[in-house]
């Protein structure tokens, strides 16, 4: 058909279309940061970790065969310790998980050759030789410079067993249990303060109702004593994801003076619990779903926090997200009960958006623990005999360590959307904080799989002289590191930003996490 429009109007149309395309590809997101208005501190314990007697996390991960040819102290693997020291892990939760409610602490003390063999009935029915127990865990924490967070046994233990463990750990005076600790090589008390009273008591920790557990909590917590020099921070075993009734009943029944925090567990599962999906073989649909499901945690946090606010308006009690992360199918050819999964760029982005949500809610969230540190679920480190690799998720914690105990700065912006099919999620998320030296640290994430994002950020009242930046990115969301190619996804120097007065322009590539440090 002949075009009836005159040439000039067709040219105008073309020019208009060109201008529109140009506007779209150069669209800038405006951000503003109130650099003098930081009120809330981002508790360093938000960047915490979790190590369970599960698969190859403890045995084969942290604690290795004496014959393994890697640097070790006792049987603790030092390459793993050194890597974790670098990212300053603030706390380490142990011994579970489900395992915590079948663990009897006396099995893991004293001469190793006399320790009883038990069965790890939670994770694959393997033999638990108890060579890694209380002293070994606390030695590991001291090497890491991290705070221990012990989950006590409610499900199959007694209040007396729990009370005795705490006395053994923390009492400095003259008692049989303190003497036993000394005989076992630790003269001074360990001063453990983070204390979980059971784990997932709604499930593997005893299949309890919230009414029953909250009564039990009060009973057990009453006998968890503060010995001179150590005040316990007792943590209630809280809700499974959106179980708001669990939160309501717990907050109603347990007096706030009797708890430091209450936990919440949420895992990002892309498919169903039966068929979760592969850790590495997936397309954009499963990538998008992964991000979308990870972001769902914000709704859970909002709703749980609203319930907590009713009973604790001054926000004295912490919400501790003490298990989170992506849970995929186990790697083909591995023992399914060991939960060994690979870790891709998708996992890194999930970690970054989750941490941005935790920091944003740091008035209530004062602890979180990624599951789990080595060789299990969303691990920071994978090992294969002598070999070790750092996963993309490890690098996120490296970028985010600057926010530990820094002041959260308010940020205003509207994120562009990342759409897939008919659905969309915010493409950009951020954490901005000011540390004790006055340095401003900005971490920015772009989850869009194909589009870059240009950001124009005004830092009100802050002029900086020096800027340094790093980036974690990869061309595909399912790129990952292998023992043969351990540095496919790694941190690099980032230069795509510039200063204009107190404005910072940054261009984030697709699938990227950027950290910028601004110093006066």
- List residues with catalytic annotation: 200, 323
379 makes contact with ligand AHR (CB under 6 A): no
CB of 48 to ligand AHR, least distance (A): 14
Indicate whether 96 belongs to the interface with ligand AHR (CB under 6 A).
Answer: yes
For ligand AHR, give the closer residue by CB, 38 or 60: 60
With tokens 């347990």, the residue in question is 254
Q: Which of 471, 458, 366, 446 minimizes the C-alpha distance to 408?
A: 366
User: C-beta of 103: minimal distance to ligand AHR in Å?
Assistant: 11
Minimal distance in Å, beta carbon 371 to ligand AHR?
4
CB of 234 or CB of 407, closer to ligand AHR? 234
Q: Out of 208, 371, 379, 455, which residue is the one contacting ligand AHR (CB under 6 A)?
A: 371
Residue nearest ligand AHR, Cβ-based: 97
- Part in contact with ligand AHR (CB under 6 A); list of ranges 82-90, 171-179, 329-337, 371-379: 371-379
Using the minimum distance from each CB to ligand AHR, give the nearer residue, 98 or 247: 98
DSSP state letter for 115: S
Q: How far is the CB of 50 from ligand AHR (least distance, A)?
A: 7
CB closer to ligand AHR, 126 vs 486:
126
Window of 55-63, 94-102, 162-170, 402-410 that interacts with ligand AHR by CB under 6 A: 94-102
52 binding ligand AHR? (CB under 6 A): yes
SS3 track for 468-493:
EEEEEECCCCCCECCCCCCCCCCEEE
d(CA 420, CA 344): 20
Strand order through the sheet with 440-446? 407-408, 428-434, 440-446, 512-519, 466-473, 491-493
User: Footprint of ligand AHR on residues 127-146 (CB under 6 A)?
Assistant: none
Q: Using the rule CB under 6 A, which residue among 101, 136, 167, 200 binds ligand AHR?
A: 200
Give the range of 90-98, 208-216, 404-412, 485-493 binding ligand AHR by CB under 6 A. 90-98
The correct pick among 76, 98, 402, 409 for binding ligand AHR (CB under 6 A) is 98
**Sequence-ordered list of residues with C-beta below 8 angstroms from that of 274, at least 6 positions apart, any chain:** none
Exactly one of 193, 199, 429, 481 binds ligand AHR (CB under 6 A); that residue is 199
Closest CA to 127 of 135, 136, 116, 137: 116
Asked if 442 and 410 count as a contact pair (C-beta separation under 8 A), the reply is no
Tokens of 67: 């014959």
Closest CA to 58 of 110, 134, 112: 134
Give the residues across from 319 on adjacent strands.
Answer: 262, 365
* Cα–Cα distance, 147 to 137 (Å, whole number): 11
SS3 26: coil
Q: Where are the alpha helices (DSSP H) in 184-296?
A: 210-222, 244-253, 284-295
The minimum distance between CB 184 and ligand AHR, in angstroms, equals 27
Residue 343 makes contact with ligand AHR by CB under 6 A: no
Tell the smallest beta-carbon distance from residue 336 to ligand AHR (Å): 13
**Residue in 61, 90, 97, 198 binding ligand AHR, rule: CB under 6 A:** 97
Q: Does 236 bind ligand AHR (CB under 6 A)?
A: no
Q: Which of 43, 323, 347, 479 is close enough to bind ligand AHR by CB under 6 A?
A: 323
**Contact stretch for ligand AHR (CB under 6 A) within 93-101, 138-146, 221-229, 430-438:** 93-101
Alpha-carbon Rg for the chain in angstroms: 25
Beta bridge pairs of residue 442: 432, 516
Neighbours of 7 (CB within 10 A): 8
Measure the CA–CA gap between 334 and 340, rounded to whole angstroms: 7
The DSSP output letter for 59 is: B
Q: Of 32-40, 95-103, 218-226, 344-352, which part binds ligand AHR (CB under 6 A)?
A: 95-103
- 178 in Cβ contact with 167 (< 8 Å): yes
Stretch of 77-85, 96-104, 392-400, 494-502 contacting ligand AHR, by CB under 6 A: 96-104
In the bound state with ligand AHR, the residue whose beta carbon lies nearer, of 263 and 515, is 263
By beta-carbon proximity to ligand AHR, the closer residue of 323 and 479 is 323
| Minimum gap (Å) between residue 295 Cβ and ligand AHR | 20
Interface size with ligand AHR, residues (CB under 6 A)? 10
- C-alpha distances (whole Å) from 19 to each of 14, 15, 25, 507 are 9, 6, 10, 20
- Binding site residues, ligand AHR, CB under 6 A: 52, 96-98, 199-200, 323, 371-372, 377
């Amino acid at each position: 058909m002949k075009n009836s429009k005159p040439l000039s109007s067709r040219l105008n149309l073309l020019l208009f279309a060109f201008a529109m395309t140009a506007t779209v590809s150069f669209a800038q997101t405006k951000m503003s940061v109130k650099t003098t208005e930081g009120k809330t501190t981002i508790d360093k314990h938000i960047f915490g970790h979790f190590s369970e007697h599960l698969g190859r996390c403890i045995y084969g991960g942290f604690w290795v065969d004496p014959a393994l040819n890697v640097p070790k102290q006792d049987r603790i693997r030092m390459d793993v310790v050194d890597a974790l020291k670098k990212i300053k892990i603030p706390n380490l939760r142990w011994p579970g998980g489900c395992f915590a409610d079948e663990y009897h602490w006396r099995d893991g003390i004293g001469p190793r050759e006399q320790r009883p063999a038990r069965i790890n009935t939670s994770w694959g029915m393997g033999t638990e030789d108890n060579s890694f127990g209380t002293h070994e865990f606390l030695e590991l924490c001291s090497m890491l410079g991290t705070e221990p967070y012990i989950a006590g046994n409610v499900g199959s233990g007694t209040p007396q067993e729990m009370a005795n463990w705490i006395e053994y750990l923390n009492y400095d005076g003259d008692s049989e249990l303190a003497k036993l600790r000394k005989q076992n090589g630790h003269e001074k008390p360990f001063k453990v303060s983070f204390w979980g009273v059971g784990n997932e008591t709604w499930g593997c920790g005893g299949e309890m109702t919230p009414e029953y557990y909250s009564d039990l909590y009060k009973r057990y917590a009453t006998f968890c004593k503060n010995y001179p020099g150590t005040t316990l921070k007792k943590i209630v075993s809280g809700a499974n994801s959106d179980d708001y009734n669990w939160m309501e009943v717990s907050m109603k029944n347990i007096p706030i003076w009797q708890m430091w925090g209450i936990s919440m567990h949420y895992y990002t599962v892309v498919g169903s619990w039966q068929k979760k999906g592969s850790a590495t073989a997936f397309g954009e649909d499963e990538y998008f779903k992964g991000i979308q499901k990870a972001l769902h945690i914000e709704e859970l946090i909002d709703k749980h926090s609203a319930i907590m606010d009713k009973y604790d308006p001054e926000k004295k009690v912490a919400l501790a997200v003490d298990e989170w992360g992506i849970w995929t199918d186990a790697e083909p050819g591995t023992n399914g009960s060991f939960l060994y999964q690979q870790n891709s760029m998708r996992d890194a982005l999930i970690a970054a958006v989750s941490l941005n949500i935790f920091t944003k809610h740091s008035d209530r969230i004062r602890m979180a623990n990624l599951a789990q540190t080595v060789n299990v679920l969303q691990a920071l480190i994978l090992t294969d005999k002598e070999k070790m690799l750092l996963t993309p998720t490890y690098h996120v914690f490296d970028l985010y360590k600057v926010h530990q105990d820094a002041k959260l700065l308010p940020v205003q912006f509207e994120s562009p959307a990342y759409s897939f099919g008919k659905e969309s999620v915010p493409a950009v998320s951020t954490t901005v904080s000011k540390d004790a030296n006055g340095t401003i640290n900005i971490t920015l994430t772009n989850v869009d799989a194909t589009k870059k994002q240009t950001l124009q950020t005004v830092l009100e009242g802050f002029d900086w002289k020096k800027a340094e930046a790093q980036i974690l990115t990869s061309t595909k969301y399912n790129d990952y590191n292998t023992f043969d190619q351990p540095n496919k996804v790694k941190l690099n120097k980032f230069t795509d930003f510039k200063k204009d007065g107190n404005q910072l322009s940054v261009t984030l590539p697709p699938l990227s996490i950027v950290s910028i440090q601004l110093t006066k």
